[in-house]
A and B are shown apart, each in its own frame.
Chain A
Amino acid sequence: MNILEAVFTGITQGAMIALVALGYTMVYGVLKLINFAHSEVFMMAAYFGLVFLSLLIGDVSAVNGIVSPEAASSTFAGVFGALRGHPLAAAAAATVLAMLAASALGIGVERVAYKPLRGRGKGALVRVTPLVTALGMSVLLQNLAQLLFTARFRPYPQVLSGEVQVPGLGAITSSRALILGASIIVMIGLELIVKRTWFGKAMRALSANEEAARLMGVRTSRVISMTFALGSSLAALGAVLFCLDQSQVYPTMGVVIGTRAFVAAVLGGIGSITGAMLGGLLIGIIGELVKLTDYSGGVDVLVFLVLILVLLVRPAGLLGSTRTEKV
């Protein structure tokens, strides 16, 4: 029974990691760039979510120093006051707003740090320079968050209390049910976007061959921006769900989840969307099962051991290959 519970917790944990991993894998698919700033977009999104949620529920104690209580009850009350007393609706609205804000941030990062460098330099520099600006962007965002929001840990308001009954599993907390439900819907939606829409086709074309795609009339800049927006909004969804369920917000929080998500993307085969989902779930479940053993203090040791073993056997990751489905 214990193992079953742990596997279930692992699935919810993994689903959330997968949401962040998708951003890494999509950008890599399109640009062949490891977007190290992605984990910081995740962190910023958690702050956006916290600010919006606090305004929406009318309790700004968690954001003191960012939003003053006076401004919350006067300036913002008109805009954000409508949902007070409806915690679930407020959480949903805050999530959507955080996703929009994070998309804007993702596009901004791309415009500022990656776009000006595209197609410049020679040989290895084409890959290395953007990688370094990505690292720079990550450090910049982390320190910016520390300046804007201070380094203290800010707890999320607990709006999703209570439990729901799930057939076969018994009672689970509503926040975990929400994570699971939202992730499944989003992953199916993403699969549809990539496989069935014009934008998905353009993304796949771009990943196969940028030059050819441009010659065929794909507006590559726009597709790249859209990819960043999509990846960032998924990270934002992951961030808000993560914080509602189990975390506080602090400027270095991106590192913890970011590392695991990046590993998930590589484990599944970077560039493969299904791979990122699979990788996320695997890492989530392995992590929870390790907690049941005597080595419970070294979750990461086991997770990274699995990563190395998998990569030794399949260097391209579980579902990654050099030909098919590079998105």
Chain B
Amino acid sequence: MVSRRDFGLGVALAALLLAGGCEKDDPNEIKVGAYLSLSGADSTFGTDTREGIELAVEETNAAGGVKGKRIRVIYEDDKSTTHEAVQKVRQLVDRNKVVALLGEVASSRSLAGGLIANTSKVPMITPSSTAVSVTKNRHWVFRSCFTDDQQGAVGARFILEHLGRRRVGVFFAAQDPYSSGLARAFRAELKRLGGEIVVDKGYQKGETNFRTYLAELKAANPEVLFVPNYYNEMVLIARQAREVGIPGAMFVGGDGWDSSNLVEGAGAELEGAHFTNHYAPDVPWENSKKFVTAFAARYKHEPTSLTAQGYDAAKLLFDAIERAPETTPAAIRDAIAATKDFKGATGTMTMDDQHNANKPIVVVRIQDKKFVYATQILAE
């Protein structure tokens, strides 16, 4: 048992620690919170995004800050879990009193964190969550990327107009909202434009043996297979597709493919495949080139798409704070909503009334185990 005296001592100590832990508010500082998956299953999502945000902060502060004040971003790790994301957003809002929030990558966690941001009336920008519901009916939540609806539709148009193929097979992860949502948007647009879906198959998320599925897909004789899933499963599908005799160039995917793990695991198998994305390392936009050069000089390696998106979300937010009449969450929210022709590394963005950033979608080709820019298509 803990004696009463020990208990009292403990309480006193804890109080002391808390008091010491409380930071003084610096009047020359604007505090922004970022909650990201810095550890756990999706740790690369979080660490990549953070590097982009850090670069944006350094550049902004070096150029004199925002409204003459320094920007400070407080990072919190949600350990790749939804409930931690909720806790961390609460912490950032209640304890750190941030004026705005940046985060998350995964739509599930942005949905959860966004709920708190919305009820606490603090504006939030997600750099890379594409699920439509993330910003839907949420007055305080924005995104600086496209939605799955836009992406699925662009995938369909790319296949019909750029590849010139009509007979399409769809293969998606049935329990995954990202994958099935993208497939739904894709089907609708493809049918509208006169394409034909010859086979449409769902698989169970987490499946590792795809041979039976792939044999059936092949038997239907499609010209293109649209497989909107995450890179980990795509590595296995690509490897087993080669066994079954489906060429890699037949595959078209979504931004879930964007990871170096994909080309490390199945780069040769996927030679000639395409996917819709936010960005490509060699995209021919001036701002992107500037970003890639600055990033490579600072971090000594190439930025990923998530890094570029983190950079853009942060820059867009700082731009909004600068334009806002005062640094209150409400004023910043209105400034974000009014964003027009913001020139970012992932394209020129305008915030629409659904809180989605409208910008061109990049199509990436896999070539010699590398991601290369293929074309860009404007979402309608």
| Residues from chain B with Cβ under 8 Å of A299 in the complex | 204, 207
> Shortest distance in angstroms between B373's beta carbon and chain A's nearest beta carbon?
25
| Residues from chain B with Cβ under 8 Å of A9 in the complex | 209, 211-212
Identify the stretch in A274-282, A288-296, A305-313 within 8 Å (CB) of chain B at 4 or more residues.
Answer: A288-296
- Tell me if B206 and A13 are in contact (CB < 8 A): no
A288–B201 Cα distance when bound, in Å, is 14
- Tell me if A288 and B243 are in contact (CB < 8 A): no
Name B237-267 residues within 8 Å CB distance of A: 239-240, 243, 261, 264-266
A9–B206 Cα distance when bound, in Å, is 17
Interface check A152, CB cutoff 8 A: yes
Interface check A133, CB cutoff 8 A: no
> Shortest distance in angstroms between B229's beta carbon and chain A's nearest beta carbon?
12
Name the CB-closest residue of B to A300.
B204
A246's partner among B41, B174, B201, B209 (CB-CB below 8 A) is B209
| Residues from chain B with Cβ under 8 Å of A252 in the complex | 41
| Residues from chain B with Cβ under 8 Å of A300 in the complex | 204
B265's partner among A5, A248, A297 (CB-CB below 8 A) is A248
Interface size class of A (residues with CB under 8 A): 20 to 34
> Shortest distance in angstroms between B266's beta carbon and chain A's nearest beta carbon?
7
Task: Please count how many residues in chain B sit with their CB below 8 Å of the partner chain's CB atoms.
Answer: 35
Given A155-B266, A248-B235, A248-B265, are A297 and B203 also a contact pair (CB < 8 Å)? yes
Interface check A321, CB cutoff 8 A: no
Interface check B216, CB cutoff 8 A: yes
> Shortest distance in angstroms between A97's beta carbon and chain B's nearest beta carbon?
23
- Tell me if B204 and A13 are in contact (CB < 8 A): no
Interface string of A228-249 (1 = CB under 8 A from B): 0000000000000010001110
Which residues does B use to contact A, with CB under 8 Å? Answer: 39-44, 80, 173-175, 201-204, 206-213, 215-216, 219, 232, 235-236, 239-240, 243, 261, 264-266
19 more CB-based (< 8 A) A-B contacts, given A153-B261, A155-B266, A300-B204: A5-B215, A9-B209, A151-B39, A151-B40, A151-B42, A151-B43, A152-B261, A246-B208, A246-B210, A248-B232, A248-B236, A248-B265, A291-B203, A291-B216, A296-B203, A296-B213, A297-B174, A298-B175, A298-B204
A-B contact pairs, 13 of them (CB 8 A): A2-B215, A2-B219, A150-B43, A152-B43, A153-B235, A242-B208, A288-B212, A291-B213, A292-B212, A296-B213, A297-B204, A298-B174, A298-B204
10 closest Cβ contacts across the A-B interface?
A297-B174, A297-B202, A155-B265, A291-B212, A299-B204, A6-B212, A153-B232, A247-B208, A246-B208, A288-B212
